[in-house]
Amino acid sequence: MLDSCPLVYLPDPARSIIGYYKYMSLSRRFSALHERDFRLFWIGQIISLSGTWMQSVAQSWLVYSLTKSPLYLGIIASVASLPILFLALIGGMVADRFPKRNILILTQTLSVIPALMLGVLTETKTVTVMHVGFLAAFLGVVNAFDVPARQAFLAEVVAKGSITNAIGLNSAAFNGARIIGPVAAGVAISSFGIPVCFYLNAASFVAVIIALLRIKSRGSARVPGGNMIKEIAGGWQFVIKERRVFHIMMLVSLFSLFGIPYVTLLPVFAGEILNVGARGLSFLMASAGAGSLLAAIMMSLKEEIEKENRDIPLSALVFSIAVMALSFSGSFGISMLLIFVAGWGIVSCLAQCNSYIQNRVPDELRGRVMSLYILVFLGFAPLGNALIGFAAHKAGTTDTLKLFAAICIFGSIIFWGQFRKEAGH
């Protein structure tokens, strides 16, 4: 008879103890959310990034509607990230010198301008590809200072032991927005037109600005004003000295040039290969966001840094193989599944790379080292976007995806060997 008694018959004190330990376990897994400042920043990020992804989809569809050319899609994507290539290191130095919260308030305010202007130009039917390129370049300059400060700012709104959890939750916010934004953009474009996406993005920046204003200012590590070249070199010296960090930077560089730019060709994929239009494009991008969100949640649930870093080579290979498989797909459903897997792979890889670096860099170098990470992650993107756009223009979309995915697979295998070797396996 006793064997038939389930746990629901446990006395109230026992149930309370079990409930307490379950709560404590969950609490440890999401420790960063116990920090008031992080919660404010995180919620503001979700709203603002959802608007940013709406604009990303709308801008891609606008460029494709104006030109019907994968080359122009690559050019505009390159122009948007090219300033980061030249200014990210300076942005990292600025983040080490000045309060990061103040930098972010300024950059978020400036980001409203291109969104509003694109909305007005598109609504009045006076927009050209040149307008889109100029405003994309302006936003790229702003992001060159915003992104390094944002990455380094995480360490100021959470306790030292919660940095990994904060990175995972921040990545979850980013990738949750990748689902909300594209789906909302698809509905908005088909129901109200492209301009409304730009207006909603402009309004979304208000949320993160309010959050930043409410965050209590904390002292941040500063470096004395001096020789700019020597200050930037301090970040390089750390990366070269830490060999695993160096190889991680090389892997991220490879993906920025040959892997991540596959997203640039999704409008062509949706319009010409799958024939699903703007709404289909929004669902393809949302699939990438769903896979990315799953990876970010899994990242935030991890507790041990060293164990999670063993998964970096595996997630890199999963991403590369998924992009290769996508190049053979002619089915909308299969393409969504493969993009979901690719989204999981790339975010799982990048989030763990970010965590590995953040947990090893000293505070006084954080802005400069993270600016190097941003340089290889986003700064190399214009080269990759231009390269994939040109290659697709000359050789076709699917053949280009095959070639670029093959490069990523080969690079992931080499990285796996180096990573295991330096880990002492």
Reported as a single tens digit per residue, the pLDDT across 351-400 is: 888 888 887 887 777 778 888 888 888 778 778 878 888 898 888 888 99
| C-beta neighbour count of 417 within 10 angstroms | 12
CA atoms within 13 A on the CB side of 188: 21
Q: What is the rounded CA–CA span in Å between residue 351 and residue 252?
A: 11
Question: Which pLDDT band, with edges at 50, 70 and 90, does 310 fall under?
Answer: low
Using one digit for the tens of pLDDT, what is the confidence trace for 197-223?
Answer: 999 999 999 988 999 999 876 655 555
pLDDT at residue 97, as a whole number? 82
Average per-residue pLDDT for the chain: 82
Higher pLDDT, residue 31 or 309? 31
Query: What does the pLDDT read at residue 317?
Result: 94
Q: Which two tokens stand for residue 15?
A: 């149930």
d(CA 123, CA 271): 23
Burial bucket for residue 43 (CB in 10 Å: 0-12, 13-18, 19+): middle
Helices (H), 158-276: 163-191, 195-214, 228-241, 243-258, 266-268
Average pLDDT over residues 281-290: 84
Look at residue 133 in the predicted model and tell me its pLDDT. Answer: 92
Whether residue 74 contacts residue 390, with contact meaning beta carbons closer than 8 Å, is answered with yes
| 420 vs 280, more confident | 280
Q: List CB contacts of 27: < 8 A, sequence separation 6 or more.
A: 34
Residue with tokens 């990545």: 171
pLDDT digits (tens, 9 = 90+) for 85-113: 888 888 888 888 888 899 999 999 999 99
Q: CA–CA separation, 302 vs 322, rounded Å?
A: 24
pLDDT band at 182 (very low <50, low <70, confident <90, very high): confident
Which percentage of the chain shows pLDDT scores above 90?
A: 28
- Token duo for residue 336: 């969504």
Can you state the angle between helices 228-241 and 70-97, rounded to 10 degrees? 100
Which of the residue ranges 146-155, 189-198, 330-339, 414-423 would you say has the lowest mean pLDDT?
414-423
Residues 404/258, Cβ–Cβ less than 8 Å:
yes
Kindly report the CATH number assigned to the domain that includes residue 241: 1.20.1250.20
What integer pLDDT is reported at residue 219 of this predicted model?
A: 52
Q: How many domains does the chain have?
A: 1
pLDDT in tens, 27-39: 556 677 888 888 8
Looking at the predicted structure, is the pLDDT value of residue 17 above 80? no
- 363 versus 319: the higher-pLDDT residue is 319
**Residue 357: which region, alpha, beta or left (left: phi > 0; alpha: psi -120 to 50)?**
alpha
Largest Cα separation within the chain, whole Å, is 80
Q: Which of the residue ranges 1-5, 66-70, 123-127 would you say has the lowest mean pLDDT?
A: 1-5
Q: Which domain holds residue 95?
A: 2-216+225-422
Amino acid 407: pLDDT = 95
Provide the pLDDT for residue 8.
41
Task: Give the mean pLDDT of 236-240.
Answer: 82
